[in-house]
Amino acid sequence: MSYALLDRGEEVVVLDNLMTGVSSLVSPDAEFIEGDIGDLALVRALLRSRKIDTIMHFAGSVVVPESVSDPMKYYANNTAATRSLIEAAVREDVPHIVFSSTAAVYGMPPVPVMAEDTPPRPINPYGRSKLMTEWMLADAATAHNLSYIALRYFNVAGADPLGRTGQSTPNATHLIKRACQAALGRVSHLDIYGTDFDTPDGTGVRDYIHVTDLVEAHLAALDALRRGTESGIYNCGYGHGMSVRQVISAVEKASGRRVPLREAPRRAGDPAMVIADATKLRRNLDWSPRYDDIDVIVSAALRWEQRLNH
């Protein structure tokens, strides 16, 4: 994100506690500060001294199974720390926040394609912690001079087309990254969780969005807030899905190697299909994706994985 902002002439300050972040991936043209968004005094000082006009909030823990086994970590890191960040924004009169939310707020919806008005019913602490942040933002925007846009990510994948950044967490659980690691021999196999879903090939279907198109959605949100667009929530996806087996086929095609597989039972709470209705994002924020192609997404992810040392 910092590269895209810098490319268009923005001044960027990156605050990260490096719990999972990698400081070397921050552009050298951005100011980097190691610290926590829950440190109210630090954040207020930064907002005041750097004259920040917009906060783009990406910080948080994102592994669903871990959120179930360690919920307090997620409510501390995702909810409580964000409450402090919002307070800092209010106290320092920062007018805009763009927030990274998630499709996990929908839980197990009764329909496979979700619009923003689909009732949120998260089924794990990760989804609940993100939904709580959406509620806090809405309440703060009602009470104070603050506007926000929450972007509900579906399945983010790929890497920067210029090779500057990509998914670098060694133990990440994202399907495309894991499939690339398995193809390259960096993990012994890829687990397929569930082969008996009510889908064309029996495996789960998800809406995968290239990270660069997601970055463009953030830029569109930033521009919208600056021109006075009302606060709101937007789905970020393409409106169609790919199955686990289709993703694996794309990885095998890109790598020229077989992905070793192990079939396992469904995980509790895994829906058969999760697809975004992103009509609102396209219509209201004039967003149009450029990388809506699973082969393009997988090829970018594979190129990045080949560059890593783990």
Determine contact, residues 86/137, Cβ cutoff 8 Å. yes
| Short-list 97, 98, 72, 96, CA closest to 153 | 98
Distance CA(100)–CA(233), nearest Å, equals 10
C-alpha of 257 from chain center: 28
What type of residue is 138?
Answer: A
Residue 106: CB partners within 8 Å, gap ≥ 6? 114, 118, 120, 121, 122, 127, 274
Q: What are the DSSP calls for 241-280, one per residue?
A: -EEHHHHHHHHHHHHSS---EEEEPPPTT--SEEEE--HH
Distance CA(302)–CA(14), nearest Å, equals 27
Coil vs helix vs strand at 122: coil
> Is 126 considered catalytic here?
yes
Ramachandran bin of 109, using left for φ above 0, alpha for ψ from -120 to 50, beta for the remaining angles: beta
Coil vs helix vs strand at 202: coil
Q: Report CA dihedral (267, 179, 251, 238) to the nearest 10 degrees.
A: 50
Instruction: Identify the pLDDT of residue 265.
Output: 95
Candidates 126, 148, 208, 291; catalytic one? 126
Mean pLDDT split into 10-residue runs, the chain, 310 residues: 94 92 85 96 98 96 88 96 98 98 92 94 95 98 98 95 84 89 95 96 97 98 97 98 98 98 89 94 96 97 85
What are the domain boundaries of the chain? Answer: 158-208+238-310
Instruction: Identify the pLDDT of residue 270.
Output: 82
Instruction: Identify the pLDDT of residue 64.
Output: 83
Instruction: Identify the pLDDT of residue 310.
Output: 53
The model scores a pTM over 0.75: yes
Instruction: Identify the pLDDT of residue 209.
Output: 97
Sheet of 147-153, strand order: 54-57, 96-102, 147-153, 232-236
Distance CA(73)–CA(93), nearest Å, equals 29
Look up the CATH superfamily of 158-208+238-310.
UDP-galactose 4-epimerase, domain 1 (3.90.25.10)
Beta bridge partners of 156: 209
Instruction: Identify the pLDDT of residue 19.
Output: 84
Instruction: Identify the pLDDT of residue 22.
Output: 81
